[in-house]
């Protein structure tokens, strides 16, 4: 069993200028055995520190960390049965790939034949057999990344830790490596904890995702749950690209009044939001839930408005459209077949079946 458990983990740093900084504030969660769990959040939110605490490279200020059934607070990194893949790969430049792969095992005094067998197996899994006699400088970024993963695989750890391993690769290679890492997880059946600031990477790789902000866990959920039921404004704005639109509004019965438009709520939403009747709320609608009526079989009788498109960006299959309602700038993502043009008025349908409301004081989602 390779569960990883955080119990009331706090990590404080002493910063010369800012004094005490909370990198992680009271985090408790369990990474399940064989789970692919991703930490995501903006720079400085505490995700790398969390990973380094699992590895034992950083010691928590308080709280307990378990790997499997073992309390590892005082266990040395090399005895934690983990392997970490770093952003810069950390390969030894003067060694061949074969030597790089075998280095950790050699240090553990593993018999030579066993080291060779493990290198061969990892090389086959990662299709790097033909690179074993080269030096790291003779490899491309993607190949180096594979070697860094290979070095973790040969150690056969219970838990793999990845710290932004794809951030030095170009966009195309990142997508390819993402697929490879997903396949590798299935094949290795290992527990993986993966850190990234890229929400697309998090959504595509993670079975569950931990969203962090300013040292605090905002939500732990599957990609679908994060998208459909974000806990608060932060998660709603962080997950999804382009981000969800937010507009100040007031709820009156089945009507949602913004400064410029009045939207009509579907019946189930009226019931759902009843306790906020008459109150100020924040209305959230994702760009993909704003549709061009040009592509609809019939124009709905509610929540259709004329807008002027300030900017239209072509993404190939889709268009990103930017327009104002009152003082608020909104973004829509519509099918390119709508052939919408910049500076032209166009009719849009706001699909309120997919809307969210948030409490402006607590910033929590209303449900």
Binding stretches for ligand ATP (CB under 6 A): 13, 15, 21, 23, 41, 43-49, 197
CB of 13 to ligand ATP, least distance (A): 3
CB of 47 to ligand ATP, least distance (A): 4
Nearer to ligand ATP, 58 or 289 (CB): 58
Distance CA 129, CA 98 (A): 9
Distance CA 211, CA 191 (A): 18
**CA distances, 189 to each of 105, 248, 311 (Å):** 21, 46, 47
Nearer to ligand ATP, 214 or 272 (CB): 214
Say whether the peptide bond before residue 242 is cis (omega within 30 degrees of 0).
yes
Nearer to ligand ATP, 50 or 346 (CB): 50
Residue nearest to ligand ATP (CB): 48
Whether the Cβ atoms of residue 266 and residue 353 lie closer than 8 Å to each other: yes
Distance CA 348, CA 346 (A): 6
CB of 197 to ligand ATP, least distance (A): 5
Nearer to ligand ATP, 23 or 291 (CB): 23
Whether the Cβ atoms of residue 355 and residue 268 lie closer than 8 Å to each other: no
Distance CA 271, CA 367 (A): 10
The SS3 assignment for 266 reads coil
CB of 8 to ligand ATP, least distance (A): 18
CB of 216 to ligand ATP, least distance (A): 11
Nearer to ligand ATP, 23 or 312 (CB): 23
Nearer to ligand ATP, 57 or 311 (CB): 57
CB of 301 to ligand ATP, least distance (A): 47
State the DSSP code for 16: T
């Amino acid at each position: 069993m390779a569960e990883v458990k955080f119990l009331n983990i706090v990590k404080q740093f002493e910063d010369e200028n800012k004094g005490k900084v909370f990198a992680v504030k009271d985090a408790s969660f369990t990474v399940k055995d064989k789970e692919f769990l991703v930490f995501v959040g903006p720079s400085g939110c505490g995700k790398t520190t969390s990973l380094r605490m699992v590895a034992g490279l950083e010691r928590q200020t308080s709280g307990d960390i378990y790997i499997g059934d073992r309390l590892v607070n005082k266990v040395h990194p090399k005895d934690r049965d983990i392997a970490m893949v770093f952003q810069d790969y950390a390969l030894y430049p003067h060694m061949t790939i074969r030597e790089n792969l075998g280095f950790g095992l050699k240090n553990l005094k593993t018999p030579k034949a066993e080291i060779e067998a493990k290198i061969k197996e990892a090389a086959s899994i990662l299709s790097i057999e033909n690179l074993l006699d080269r030096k790291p400088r003779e490899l491309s970024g993607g190949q180096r990344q594979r070697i860094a993963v290979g070095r973790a695989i040969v150690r056969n750890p219970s838990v793999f830790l990845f710290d932004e391993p794809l951030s030095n690769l170009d966009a195309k290679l990142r997508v390819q490596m993402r697929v490879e890492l997903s396949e590798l997880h299935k094949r290795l059946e290992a527990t993986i904890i993966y850190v990234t600031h890229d929400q697309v990477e998090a959504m595509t790789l993670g079975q569950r995702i931990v969203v962090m902000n300013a040292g605090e866990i905002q939500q732990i959920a599957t990609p679908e749950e994060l998208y459909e039921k974000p806990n608060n404004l932060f998660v709603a704005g962080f997950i999804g690209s382009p981000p969800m639109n937010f507009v100040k509004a007031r709820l009156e019965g089945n009507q949602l009044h913004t400064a410029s438009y009045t939207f009509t709520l579907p019946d189930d939403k009226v019931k759902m939001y009843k306790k906020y009747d008459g109150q100020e709320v924040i209305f959230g609608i994702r760009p993909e839930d704003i549709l061009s009526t040009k592509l609809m079989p019939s124009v709905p009788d509610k929540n259709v408005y004329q807008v002027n498109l300030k900017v239209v960006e072509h993404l190939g299959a889709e268009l990103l459209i930017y327009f104002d309602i009152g003082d608020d700038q909104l973004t829509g993502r519509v099918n390119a077949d709508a052939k919408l043009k910049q500076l032209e008025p166009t009719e849009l349908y706001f699909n309120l079946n997919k809307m969210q409301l948030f409490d402006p004081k607590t910033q929590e989602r209303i449900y």
